[in-house]
Amino acid sequence: MSNKTAFVFPAFITEFTEKELDFLSENSIDFTNYLQRASSAINLDLPEFSYSSNNYRNNELKSQLLAYLFSCAFFDIAEKKGVVPHFVVGYSMGIYASLYAAKSISLEEGVKLIHKAYTIVHELTKTEIYGMGAIIGLPIKDIEYIITESKLDADIININNEHSFVIAGKKKEVNLVLEKAKEEGAMSTVELTVNTPYHSKYLSKFTDSLKQYIDTIPISNAEIPIISTYDQREIVKVSEIKSELIFNLTCKINWYKTVQKLLKKGVSDIYECGAGKDLKKISRFIKGDYRMNLIYKILKEPKKDSFSI
Amino acid sequence: MAQITDKTRDEVKEVVLDFFAEECEMELDEISEDSNIISDLDGDSLMFLELIEIFKKKFNLNIELKTIGKYSIKNPVQTIGELIDMQLLIIEHENNILDM
């Protein structure tokens, strides 16, 4: 073990720990300011956030932006305290926060990227309804069998851990896979609250328009290496970052392998840098000699225990 | 079929309570058999799976996860007490739990 650290950035927030706003405010971070900056960048109303309101919960774009802004705010505290990880990784749409942490993009450029990517791929949902789902506790071969045997238009697009998989496809067929998985003995199945089949073949037709847009965004080399969730390579250069942005939307990802790669690089401590604790939860059943904690843990430690590259 | 004794129940209860206390960063006396796994302890299906793996190793059980999945659809548990009872049934009946 060589005691390296990684920050991982969530794509979504299933449930808040409800410590987020207090923690930001204790560290002199005004989250409203982040919402206002994002709002101005894309000219979109982003109302005040509270744990109980539904302003963000049922809106795919706004919930992505919220997760991104929380991650950026937490990273800003880390940076202010001199806590810098050796690697960063974004889970799914968490890629934008990882780019912010690596100083490849500004907060506003990240907001614009999320907004534009969403707008481009959202075209797909005008002609067909798509969806995503998670299956927990059924072997991957059983899920593959369900899909092929019933000739369903859905794919496994992410392996979270040994027992948790994400599927995407046409909504009706995704729901059929979930139903059959439950009948086959899945411990639980969850329909995700998205209408876009992220990381799936359905988005590959938007590759050119995404490329064109990404070329207009100022992107810098990463100051902290980013690990790809697509093929687990280490990314620093602008050209690689641009490719990864496309792969991340249009190709399958593998979270399990990505964490394994971090461990091979000598990472022993992984911190979830963002709101909620979704990534900590899915780290169960990812084998290895490492600790996974929420970002509060390292940020609350005295400065002498902090680390930097 | 394993014989379930008072000692087995005590052992299972201890493992379950220790597991949730550690996972939820709570004191042991804050968790009881009446605690609701979801609303009181923020439990999830991966926690449940991990607990099953612990018991599979501890009692050398021959049971497939999907068998437990099928059983738990028909017999969902909500409290720690119900979870302990389900674990005891799993230990007792292993893969035959669905025949009950």
pLDDT digits (tens, 9 = 90+) for A23-51: 999 999 999 999 999 999 999 999 999 99
Can you tell me the mean pLDDT for B31-43?
Answer: 92
Question: What is the pLDDT at residue B42?
Answer: 86
Instruction: Note the pLDDT tens digit of each residue in A51-83.
Output: 988 888 889 999 999 999 999 999 999 999 999
Domain residue extents for chain A: 4-123+201-307, 130-192
Interatomic CA distance for residues B76 and B65, integer angstroms: 15
State the ipTM, two decimals. Answer: 0.87
CB-nearest to B67 from A142, A185, A281 is A185
**In chain A, which among 237-296 make CB contacts under 8 A with chain B?**
281-282, 284-285
Number of Cβ pairs < 8 A linking chain A and chain B: 55
> A239 pLDDT band (50/70/90 cuts)?
very high
Contact between A115 and A90 (Cβ < 8 Å): no
Question: What is the pLDDT at residue A304?
Answer: 45
Comparing alpha-carbon positions, the chain A residue that sits nearest to B72 is A187
Question: What is the pLDDT at residue B25?
Answer: 84
Within chain B, how many helices (H) and strands (E) appear?
A: 4, 0
Question: What is the pLDDT at residue A305?
Answer: 43
Residues 6+ apart with CB under 8 A from A199: A92, A157, A158, A166, A168, A248, A249, A250, A251, A252, A253
Reduce the DSSP state of residue B79 to 3 states and report it.
Answer: strand
Question: What is the pLDDT at residue B3?
Answer: 84
Interatomic CA distance for residues A193 and A132, integer angstroms: 8
Instruction: Note the pLDDT tens digit of each residue in A90-103.
Output: 999 999 999 999 99
Cβ within 8 Å, pair A164-B46: yes
> B35 pLDDT band (50/70/90 cuts)?
very high
Does residue B72 sit at the A interface (CB-CB below 8 Å)?
yes
Question: What is the pLDDT at residue A72?
Answer: 98
Can you tell me the mean pLDDT for A263-275?
Answer: 97
- Chain B contact probe: residue of A187, A285, A294 with most B CBs at under 10 A: A187
Does residue A187 sit at the B interface (CB-CB below 8 Å)?
yes
Question: What is the pLDDT at residue A248?
Answer: 96
Which CATH number describes the domain made up of A4-123+201-307? Answer: 3.40.366.10
Residues on chain A touching B48 (C-beta within 8 angstroms): 187
Comparing alpha-carbon positions, the chain B residue that sits nearest to A190 is B45
Reduce the DSSP state of residue B35 to 3 states and report it.
Answer: coil
The tokens for A70 are: 């929380």
Can you tell me the mean pLDDT for B2-15?
Answer: 91
| CATH architecture type of domain A130-192 | 2-Layer Sandwich (3.30)
Question: What is the pLDDT at residue A1?
Answer: 55
- Bridge partners (DSSP) of residue A166 are A134, A158
Cβ within 8 Å, pair A284-B47: yes
Contact between A230 and A243 (Cβ < 8 Å): no
pLDDT of residue A308 exceeding 50 = no
Does residue B50 sit at the A interface (CB-CB below 8 Å)?
yes
Question: CATH topology of A4-123+201-307 equal to that of A130-192?
Answer: no
Question: What is the pLDDT at residue A302?
Answer: 57
Can you tell me the mean pLDDT for B31-47?
Answer: 92
Instruction: Note the pLDDT tens digit of each residue in A92-136.
Output: 999 999 999 999 999 999 999 999 999 999 888 888 999 999 999
Does residue B22 sit at the A interface (CB-CB below 8 Å)?
no
Question: What is the pLDDT at residue B70?
Answer: 93
The whole-model pTM stands at 0.92
Cβ within 8 Å, pair A138-B66: yes
Cβ within 8 Å, pair B49-A163: yes
Average pLDDT, chain A: 93
pLDDT of residue A243 exceeding 80 = yes
Instruction: Note the pLDDT tens digit of each residue in A188-234.
Output: 999 998 999 999 999 999 999 999 999 999 999 999 999 999 999 99
> B4 pLDDT band (50/70/90 cuts)?
confident
Q: Please identify which residue in the block is written with the tokens 């969530």.
A: A10
